[in-house]
Amino acid sequence: MEFLLLVFIAILSGLVGSLVGLGGGIILVPATLFIGLNLGMIPELTPQKVVGLSVVMMIFTGLASTLSYMKSKTVDYKSGLIFFIGSIPGTILGAWVNKGLDLPSFNLYFGILLIILATILLVRDKLKPVQWFVKNGMKQEFTDASGKTYVYGYPIWFAVTITFAIGFASGLFGIGGGSMIVPAMIILFLFPPHVAVATSMFMVFLSSIVSSASHIYLGHVPWLYTIPVIPGAYIGAKLGAALNKRIKSDTLVLALRIILLLLGIRSILDGLL
């Protein structure tokens, strides 16, 4: 039963993560903690093992999504590599800090992060784009299928700084980083939404390799449970990338805001009580 549930969770994680550029871990981590520890179906799991499972999964969601987005030519490889370079030290540091967290502490801090992410998603559409970063940074252009040209960009020093913080959260909680970098890319750097999602998944793929290596070294990966999770996540990510080209993700993002808020409140209460 737990294997079937993990397959379902992995497909949903890959689908949602790829569709809106989140990476998938933000769904997998709380859902797996719930069925594994709250319901007692996988009692040997720990927060460290769930995070290890999540970062391994995100290698494959990132790969599947990137391969799909490569065909539509929406991946900004240069920006993705710059963001990845900035995230490397943060990812390693986050994985190292993770080993010292017990379950109540993990739930408390993870819940706070989920509420912050829900708030970011909530206000994302209400914030006016910031022009300063494009005017004072490296500029790039993208022309979509309809012929509309977008100008976007960022100061490299700022991009490296922000991705260090995102890499730290990714290594600590196994969430991938896309949930934080996509709003920054759209609001601060003026990325076209589809380019932001595609580039985010490319960065998630690269940073998950580093994060996975760190967690493997620390012994945090429950290899048995990668069997249902990896193929499920890969299939979900391919579906999400295909849907991203066809539908607007506004409805999904609205649902995700509510889900993250509820999960965050529950996680904080679990941590405190």
Pick from 83-92, 121-130, 206-215, 243-252: least confident: 243-252
> Are 62 and 178 within 8 A, CB to CB?
no
Closest CA to 28 of 213, 222, 218, 189: 222
Q: Supply the DSSP string of 200-228, one letter for each residue.
A: HHHHHHHHHHHHHHHHHHTT---HHHHHH
Q: How confident is the model at residue 255 (pLDDT cuts 50, 70, 90)?
A: low
Segment 129-144 shows an average pLDDT of: 89
CB-based contacts of 231, cutoff 8 Å, min separation 6: 7, 10
Q: What is the mean pLDDT of the chain?
A: 85
SS3 label, residue 75: coil
CA 258/CA 119 separation, integer angstroms:
10
Here the tokens at position 152 are 């976007």
Q: How confident is the model at residue 87 (pLDDT cuts 50, 70, 90)?
A: very high
If you average pLDDT over residues 243-255, what whole number do you get? 64
Does the structure show a pLDDT above 90 at 153?
yes
User: Is the pLDDT confidence value at 122 over 80?
Assistant: no
Distance, CA of 46 to CA of 43 (rounded, Å): 8
User: For the segment 163-219, what is each residue's pLDDT rounded down to a tens digit?
Assistant: 999 889 888 888 767 677 888 888 899 998 889 888 988 998 998 898 899 999 989
What pLDDT score was predicted for residue 244?
67
- 8 A C-beta contact, residue 27 and residue 6: no
The CA distance from 186 to 179, in Å, is 12
Cβ proximity of 173 and 110 under 8 Å: yes
Q: Nearest-CA neighbor of 117 among 260, 250, 268?
A: 260
Question: What is the DSSP code (8-state) at residue 130?
Answer: P
- Positive or negative, the CA dihedral 237, 239, 241, 243 is negative
Q: pTM higher than 0.75 for the full model?
A: yes
pLDDT at 21 over 70: no
Lowest mean pLDDT among 47-61, 131-145, 175-189, 196-210: 175-189
